Every structure is written in C-alpha cells, then in structure tokens.
Amino acid sequence: MAALRVAVPVLALLGLCPGPAAPTPLVIWHGMGDSCCNPVSMGFIQKLVEKKIPGIYVLSLKIGSNLIQDMENSFFMNVNDQVREVCSQLAMDPQLKGGYNAMGFSQGGQFLRAVAQRCPSPPMFNLISIGGQHQGRVYGFPRCPGESSHVCDWIRKTLDLGAYTKSVQEHLVQAEYWHDPLKEEDYRKNSIFLADINQERGINETYKKNLMALKKFVMVKFLNDTMVDPPISEWFGFYKSGQAKETIPLQETSLYKEDRLGLQEMDKAGKLVFLGVKGDHLHFSEEWFDKSILPFLQ
C-alpha cells in the first residue's frame, strides 16, 4: 500500500492523473436594449457567476463590434442573422468545444433556444431562460429598458401599423416574435423567426431532436411582470386561440399536445423546469439567483 500512496502523487506530477474537472462553460445572451457587458446587468451577472463558480469560463455574447452596435442590434438586426452569428461564435470558441450551459435574459432566452434547435455543435447541456417569451408577446411595450424609450415609442407605432409585413419582419427584432392571438393566420404565415422555431408551419425533426437533447430546459417566469404580455409566455403558455383574455398553460397548447417540439416528452422525462420569482421583469435578488439558478450551472 505504501508504494501505491507514492505512485499516485508521482503520476499526478507527471500529468497522467486527471485533476478536478473544470466547470462547464456558460454562454449568456442579453435582452432588448441591453449589451453584453453592461456593468449593472450582464457584466454584473458574469462577475457573480465567476465569483460563485471559481474557474468557470463565461462568454457574454456581443452582436457587433462594440457595445453600441450590440445594443442597437437587439432592436434592428434580423434575429435569424443574429442566431447564425452566435452559432459561428460558439463553433469557433475552443473553450466551448466540450459543451456549455446557456442562460438567456428576456428575448435572449428564446434566441438561445433557437441556437439549441439549429446548432447542436458544440452541444448545449442546460438552457436557462430568464423571462424569455417562448410563445411571443403582443400588445405593446408597457415600459422600455434603459435609455431606449424613444426607440420603443417608434417600435410600438411600427408594430401597430404592420408587424407581419415583410419589411418590418426583416428589420425589427420585436416583430419577429410578435404573436397576435387575433391574427393567428398572419402570424403563422409571416413570422420569420418565432413561427419557425415553434414549428407553426410544419415539423422540422432536427429542431425537435436537438431541443430534446438538452438535459434541462429551465423557464423562469416573473410573477409580477408588467413588460411581457402575456407573462405566461415565459412558461411557454399563451392566450387561448382566437381571443386575448384567457390564457392557457403549455400543457393545454396544441404545440404540447401534438408534441411538435418534443416538449411533452421532455416534460414527462423531468427535463422541463418551471420557476416563478416574485418581482417585475428581470427583477430578482442575488439570494434567489444563488438558490434557484446556480445549481443548474454546476
């Protein structure tokens, strides 16, 4: 036994014994009107995760060459182009070749889901959507993030005039996940992003297979949300078809019943996690984050 006690340290010194496994990398995608490295939002989250999980590699996605472009692109760059850009970034990052966890905030949640469905390499393990609108949103922007109120005033008017016109769909991010329950046929036919990733025009078996490969799909709903209409979209629910008053949970939607994305099978396998947090959109405490979110990152 003495020889064994000596041999193991020697092997470790020679680099022949594996050390502790490195933490799983984390990819973050910010929401509307934000940027990758805002010190009071994504920059804070990145530092918080790095503090709580020593040695973790965190990539906070930037779409554009600087922070201003990153913020502007969250309003005006075609989402499909953004997803392609992110897939390219992830594929070229050597730190992510073994796989990663993903955490999206607000619209970043559904954008990262598109990454999971369209770009399986490198593999995404856990997807954490914090306030993401997976069935879309509708009826205005009750309030606007940061210093972008003038932008949102223009967006409201544009969406009211023609959310499903080709020019608006191709150049306004929020139109691409605009889901009007009173115009379901227009939405299914003309939505160039959300209707595609939600399998509204047919079944893409690759999308289904790739999403079902996730270990966990965590959806966080803000219980006092005044920015997302309807808030249940954050749990993949939506308005009952043909009206805009009564909402139904994911399990009562045709998407779930027909299992077009594999969500029913994932739910039965315990892969779907529904978390609620008191507060308005993206308002949460560090204590809640530590208790509820960090376990999915380790």
What are the tens digits of pLDDT across the range 79-130?
A: 999 999 999 999 999 999 999 999 999 999 999 999 999 999 999 999 999 9
Average pLDDT (204-230) is 95
For residue 243, what pLDDT band results from cuts at 50, 70 and 90? confident
* CB-based burial, 100-130: b 16+ in 10 Å, e otherwise: bbbbbbbbbbbbbbbbbbbbeebbbbbbbbb
Which CATH number is correct for 26-138+201-296, 1.10.8.100, 3.40.50.1820, 1.10.357.10, 3.30.1540.20? 3.40.50.1820
* pLDDT at residue 138 in the model: 63
Q: Is 17's pLDDT higher than 80?
A: no
* pLDDT at residue 11 in the model: 44
For residue 147, what pLDDT band results from cuts at 50, 70 and 90? very low
| Prediction pTM value | 0.89
Q: 193 or 241: which carries more pLDDT confidence?
A: 193
Q: Is 4's pLDDT higher than 50?
A: no
Cα 88 from Cα 63, distance rounded (Å) = 11
Average pLDDT (138-164) is 64
Positions marked catalytic: 106, 225, 281
Q: 6 or 155: which carries more pLDDT confidence?
A: 155
Q: Which two three-digit tokens encode residue 252?
A: 């009562």
- Contact yes or no for 133/228 (Cβ under 8 A): yes
What pairs with residue 103 in β-bridges?
28, 128
Q: Is 27's pLDDT higher than 90?
A: yes
Mean pLDDT score of the chain, rounded to an integer? 89
Q: 282 or 11: which carries more pLDDT confidence?
A: 282
Q: Helices 107-118 and 205-212 sit at what angle, rounded to 10 degrees?
A: 110
Q: Give 43: exposed, middle or buried? Use CB within 10 Å, 0-12, 13-18, 19+.
A: middle
Domain ranges of the chain: 26-138+201-296
**Residue-wise DSSP of the chain:** -HHHHHHHHHHHHTT-S--SPPPPPEEEE--TT--TT-TTTHHHHHHHHHHHSTT--EEE---SSSHHHHHHHHHHS-HHHHHHHHHHHHHH-GGGTT-EEEEEETHHHHHHHHHHHH--SSPEEEEEEES--TT-B-S--SS--TT-HHHHHHHHHHHHHHTTSHHHHHH-GGGGGB--TT-HHHHHHH-SSHHHHTTSSS--HHHHHHHHT-SEEEEEEETT-SSSSSGGGGGT-EEPTT-SS-EE-GGGSHHHHTTSSSHHHHHHTT-EEEEEESSSTT---HHHHHHHTGGGG-
C-alpha dihedral, 33 to 37 to 40 to 41, nearest 10°: 60
